[in-house]
Amino acid sequence: MVLWLLVILKITCSQTRADFYGITEKNGTYLPDTIILFDEDSVRVNVIDLIDKPTVLSFVYFECPGFCSPLMEGLAELIDNSDIQLGTHYQVFTISIDDRETPSLAYSKKNSCLHSMIKSSEAAESWKFFTGDADNIQRITNAAGWRFKRNEDGFIHAVAVILVTPDRMISQYLYGTFFMPMHFQMAVSDAWKGLSVPARIKTLKYCYDYASKTNRNVRAVALSFGIFIILAVTGIFLKLSLDTQVRDNESKN
């Protein structure tokens, strides 16, 4: 029994080390000087050069069936409901983590987001959508402490946005798909001041649509272990019952 438990722990810990995804907050650290991506108009740019005001970084993939679309809808709602002006007080960069996605897909996704927005003209100018190669995507996500894992059907990743100061320092993480305008405005104000601020609200969600083979194997082993325990306990109980019955019969005789 102890051996089975050790096997379960070893498999689980090995998977945790190999398949880590999530967010390691890196408040106060800086993005690299150069991250080359393509915007929705297929223009090749160094996105770091575009950071001249508080900038919201959102990492998604455009064909995501999970939380990515609600995240972008949440940003659209925030832009519409916030008292501060997009393009003047802050800007938004949405970056695809899938190196197979193209600028034309980014263009289509942006137009889809703008379609229902009140402040669509501001968003058209100051909400940028980017795609790029795997190396540049990995460099900016690693710098932001935003780790993701590719699986057979897509990606597993956390759901949050990251606010960066005008001099490209990571200021604050905002978690989830819905953002309160008051908290966001405070975060933008902190970013203008160059402050590094712990997350005020931290509810971590994960976006995924597939259970990997490794996860299935862990669950299968865990299920087998559970069945083994039940059978072992049942066997011990039956043996004790039979032994008690034999002793009772012998005492009667």
Residue 12: the pLDDT is: 43
Residue where the block lists tokens 């575009």: 50
- Residues recorded for the chain: 253
Residue 185: count of CB within 10 angstroms of its CB:
16
Amino acid at 85: Q
Whole-number pLDDT of residue 203: 56
- The reported pLDDT for the residue numbered 248 is 64
Residues 71/77, Cβ–Cβ less than 8 Å: no
- Give the pLDDT score at 218: 42
Q: What is the CATH number of domain 21-207?
A: 3.40.30.10
- C-alpha 219/C-alpha 233 separation (Å) is 21
Q: List b or e across 9-27, with b for residues whose CB sees 16 or more CB atoms inside 10 angstroms.
A: eeeeeeeeeeeebebebbb
Per-residue model confidence (pLDDT) at position 247: 67
Q: Can you give the pLDDT of all 253 residues of the chain as single tens digits?
A: 544 444 444 444 444 444 567 899 999 999 999 999 999 999 999 999 999 999 999 999 999 988 899 999 999 999 999 999 999 999 999 999 999 999 999 999 999 999 989 999 999 999 999 999 999 999 999 999 999 988 877 888 888 999 999 999 999 999 988 999 999 999 999 999 999 998 866 555 555 543 444 444 444 445 555 676 777 777 787 777 776 776 666 666 5
pLDDT of residue 233: 72
Instruction: Break the chain into its structural domains and give their ranges.
Output: 1-19+213-253, 21-207
Token pair, residue 194, equals 């160059």
In whole angstroms, what is the distance from residue 119 CA to residue 247 CA?
Answer: 85
What's residue 53's pLDDT?
A: 98
Residue owning tokens 């001249």: 52
What integer pLDDT is reported at residue 174 of this predicted model?
Answer: 94
pLDDT for position 97: 96
User: Could you identify the residue written with the tokens 């540049």?
Assistant: 136
Rounded CA separation 233/18 (Å): 34
pLDDT of res. 215:
47
Within 8 A by CB and 6+ apart from 219, the residues are none
DSSP E strand stretches across the chain: 22-23, 36-39, 44-46, 55-60, 91-96, 127-131, 146-150, 155-158, 160-164, 170-175, 206-207
What is residue 171's three-state secondary structure? strand
